[in-house]
A = this chain, B = another copy of it.
Amino acid sequence: MIDSLFRPRGIAVAGASRHPTKPGHQVLHNLLAAGYPGQIALVHPAAQSILGVPAYPDLEQVPTLVEMLILAVPAATTPAMAEAIVRRKRARGDLAVVVSLAGGFAEADTEEGREMQEMLAAACREAGVRLLGPNCLGVLDARNRLDTTFLTGNRRDASGVSLLSQSGSIVSWITRECQALPFPIGLNKFVSVGNMADLSLAELVDCLGRDPSTRTIGLYLEAVPAAQPLLEAARRVAIRKPVVVLKSGRTAPGARAAFRHTGAVNDDSPLDDDVARQYGMLPVSRVDEFVTTLATFDRLPLPLGNRVAVLTNSGGAGVYTLDALVSRDIAPAQLSPSTAAALRSLLPPFAVVGDPDGYVDSGGGVGPRQTAQAVAALLRDPGVDAVVQLFVPTPFNSAEDMARDLLRLLPGIRRNSLAKPLFPVFLGGREVLPARRLLEENGMMTFASPEGVAAALAAMLRYAWARQRLAHALMR
């Protein structure tokens, strides 16, 4: 199934349109723009071709291979479509996946909507064809140049991050936030599951678990009608790949809006953050933290332990960040005496070193070179597993100078740090963006907020700990 969904050997689109404002036009346009390498055919009552793609009045008459059928037609056409699916499969045997985009099914909360959805699902079952949706954006696979969605702005060069979502449109927000990162993250795969009349989140989590190019999985959930299979799938996968979860519909009005969105209601044991953690998933609570955490897993090495050091050139930002880390149960490191001594000789007399544990406030007057050396000293300390470096520009130290000195010391830092993760946080809105880009283009990830670091680091520590626990269990 994974091949037919992500790498279909031929596609037919029903409902393609000449009119640029119609979804049926955008789907075809996106499919072509993505550079889909297989053959595309259209099912259209009248047209000979649209955008250069040949059209046929009936699905059965499409002469080329149709492994995937994309339905961009209104829900009301379901009876005809259901028949066409069964006939095509009988006549040609090629159809494997139907992707149904339109709304107006179970989520409309009408008798007719529910009937149409059941009719479509029954036809697919009868034909032995898998159904994605209805009421979804379909599927995107950047590596295989497949894109049935309306999403715009996903970079084609894929990261290791793949996404499953109960909402299509929220992903167009999420992909834009991914693109707005100083080092943009392009989604590897994305499946919008819609009403889940057949293909479920659980099955797709297993798919992505087996997909070698997916290294990190993001789940956007609203209401999960059958949570147990999803939880079991997550438990299987979460030991090999981080599964980061953002769950909406936590309040009563939110849950009602979620039902009107995808027709789904939570089952008796709602998938809350505690339950997600029990099954090895990594819950986050905000879109910005979701994006930062996914990007961090994609770009930074895992810490080997939970001892975190914080270096700051701003006392206030340091206090604020300690709160953010500690309130997520991130433990401060204890600096070794030699690290503390090295920092004291490097930094001015009023610098705060190791008070509280793992905390270094250099003061605002310290130059970028000394700061970079302090970062290196912290990374070298065997009692430190990760370093958070906070930088606020001062009249004495520009963000660009800081970035340049970090880059100059980077090879040494990398050699000495045994691939420990470094979290440089450049605080100061747009002004620090050029400095962040300089670092990111040279392979260092940077962060815009202490909360983003805290969310990503907490997820990383939880994941690293779960893996170590498994390794320990396996070695006994």
In chain A, residues 322-352, which have Cβ atoms closer than 8 Å to a Cβ of chain B? 322-323, 326-327, 332, 349-350, 352
- A314 near B: Cβ within 8 Å? yes
- Asked if residues B393 and A254 are in contact (CB atoms below 8 Å), the reply is no
Q: Please state if B431 and A179 are interface contacts (CB–CB under 8 Å).
A: yes
Q: A258's contact among B319, B357, B449, by CB below 8 Å, is which?
A: B319
Check A451 for interface membership: any CB of B closer than 8 A.
yes
Partner of A319, one of B168, B257, B326: B257
* Chain B hits for A318, CB < 8 A: 257, 261
Q: Are A167 and B248 in contact (CB under 8 A)?
A: no
Chain B residues whose CB sits within 8 angstroms of the CB of A332 once the complex forms:
253
Q: A150-B394, A177-B428, A249-B323 are in contact. Are A315 and B169 (CB under 8 A)?
A: yes
Whether A365 is near chain B, meaning CB under 8 Å from some CB there, is yes
- Which chain A residues (354-399) contact chain B, with CB distance < 8 Å? 355-357, 359, 361, 363-365, 392-396
A119 to B432, alpha carbons, bound, how many Å?
A: 40
A383 to B: closest C-beta gap in Å: 16
From A108, which residue of chain B is reached at the shortest CB distance?
B350
Q: Which of A86-119 contact B (CB under 8 A)?
A: 103-104, 108
Q: Max chain B CB contacts within 10 Å: which of A250, A260, A288, A315? A: A315
CA distance A257 to B310 in the complex (A): 11
With an 8 A cutoff between CB atoms, is A300 at the interface? no
Residue of B nearest to A166 (CB): B316
Q: In whole angstroms, what is the CA distance A267 to B317 when docked?
A: 22
Q: Which of A172, A287, A320 has the most CB of B within 10 A?
A: A320
Given A319-B258, A396-B26, decide whether A253 and B356 contact each other with a Cβ distance below 8 A. yes
A153 within 8 A of B: yes
Q: From residue A326, how far is it (CB to closest CB) to chain B in Å?
A: 4
Given A251-B323, A254-B322, A261–B169 Cβ distance below 8 Å? no
Report Cα–Cα, A252/B254, bound state, in Å. 35
The answer for the CA separation of A2 and B180 in the assembled complex, in Å, is: 44
Would you call A262 an interface residue if the criterion is a C-beta within 8 Å of the partner chain's C-beta atoms? yes
B427 and A319 form a contact (CB under 8 A): no
Residues of B within 8 A of A23 (CB): 365, 396
Are A451 and B286 in contact, with the CB atoms below 8 A?
A: yes
Are B150 and A395 in contact, CB atoms less than 8 angstroms apart? yes
**A169 lies within 8 A of B392 (CB):** yes
- A288 cross-chain contacts in B, Cβ below 8 A: 449
Closest-by-CB residue of B relative to A27 is B395
Docked complex Cα distance between A364 and B103 (Å): 11
Chain B residues near A166 (CB, 8 Å)? 316
A1-29 Cβ-contact flags toward B at 8 Å (1 or 0): 00000000000000000000101001001
Q: Is A417 an interface residue when CB atoms closer than 8 A count as contact?
A: no
Shortest CB-to-CB span from A465 to chain B, Å, is 21
A222 to B319, CA, bound (A): 8
Residues of chain B with a CB closer than 8 A to A416's CB: none
Closest to A105 in B: B350
Write out the residue numbers on chain B whose beta carbons fall within 8 Å of the beta carbon of A349.
104
Enumerate chain B residues within 8 angstroms of A222, measured Cβ to Cβ: 316, 319
Most buried by B among A176, A220, A316, A357: A316
Q: Nearest-CB distance from A308 to chain B (Å)?
A: 11
Is the CB of A256 closer than 8 A to any CB of chain B?
yes
Return the chain B residue nearest A257 by Cβ. Answer: B319
Partner of A392, one of B172, B249, B260, B359: B172
A430 at the interface (CB under 8 A from B): yes
Determine the distance from Cα of A73 to Cα of B13 in the docked complex, in whole angstroms: 75
Q: When the two chains form their complex, are residues B253 and A317 in contact, meaning their CB atoms are under 8 A apart?
A: no
Please, could you name 7 A-B residue pairs with CB atoms under 8 Å apart, sorted by A?
Answer: A23-B365, A167-B316, A168-B364, A177-B428, A222-B316, A254-B322, A260-B355
Give me the 9 closest cross-chain CB pairs, A-B, nearest first: A167-B316, A170-B316, A180-B429, A169-B314, A261-B315, A176-B428, A251-B326, A254-B323, A256-B356
Supply 19 further A-B pairs (C-beta < 8 A) apart from A150-B364, A170-B316, A170-B320: A165-B316, A166-B316, A169-B394, A170-B392, A173-B428, A176-B429, A177-B429, A179-B431, A180-B430, A220-B316, A251-B326, A252-B356, A254-B326, A256-B355, A257-B322, A257-B361, A258-B315, A260-B352, A261-B361
